[in-house]
Amino acid sequence: MRIGVLAVQGDFGKHRDMLLRLDIEALLVRTPQALAQCDGVIIPGGESTTLTTVMQKHGLWQPLQEFGRRKVIFGTCAGLIIVANEVPGHAHSTLDLIDITVARNAYGRQVDSFIDTVKLELQGAAHTMEGVFIRAPKIVACGNSVHILGHYRKDVVAAENEHILVCTFHPELTDDTALHRYFLHKVSRHLHD
């Protein structure tokens, strides 16, 4: 299985490290040609406005949208904003791949970033992990096609639909590989469908 990490801006290096720790071949994706070689892709956290602009400049926007309709994408933090259907007040278009409504910077400014325990339910098993929230967005609404996978207090912090997995925090900044393993499992399920 070959996994791509979109590497145009943001925290792609740590995602690649995480994949390498899990013995997965990780490809840094900067071109549509590289994307075409991947079975699944991670869109990392960073700055969604910058990420969007650079993705469009590199001709990756349309290919990623098509990719997400057939294959699996894991969007973390800014990556979640990019794949969402609805981001009220956001000046940019989104890839429109998962029926969630997202509020950007919903916990406050950079100084209000924090680490706290999030509760996940992955493949029927409860799992708690450290959630690193950096100017994190909030999922404020989910459509019927969306399955909720985790909470921080009352907030939904992880969710999925058929092809798209999202979380509002940075799982690559902890030693906990649970969400990355869940993503790999989702990719491999799609490969064998």
Catalytic residue among 77, 160, 163, 167: 77
Please answer whether residues 19 and 5 qualify as being in contact, where contact means their C-beta atoms are separated by less than 8 angstroms: yes
Distances (CA, A) of 46 to 5, 10, 20, 146, 185: 13, 4, 21, 24, 25
* List 38, 160, 172, 180, catalytic entry: 172
Q: Could you say whether residue 134 binds ligand GLN (CB under 6 A)?
A: yes
Q: What phi and psi, each to the nearest 5 degrees, are found at residue 155?
A: -85, 140
Cα gap 31→35, rounded to integer Å: 6
Site mask for ligand GLN (CB under 6 A), range 27-56, x = bound: ------------------xxxx--------
By CB under 6 A, is residue 149 in contact with ligand GLN? no
Nearer to ligand GLN by Cβ, of 174 and 188: the residue is 174
Do residues 27 and 34 touch, judged by C-beta distance below 8 A? yes
User: Which of the stretches 23-31, 73-81, 140-148, 151-159 binds ligand GLN when contact is defined by CB under 6 A?
Assistant: 73-81
Instruction: List contacts with ligand GLN (CB under 6 A).
Output: 45-48, 77-78, 81, 104-105, 134-135
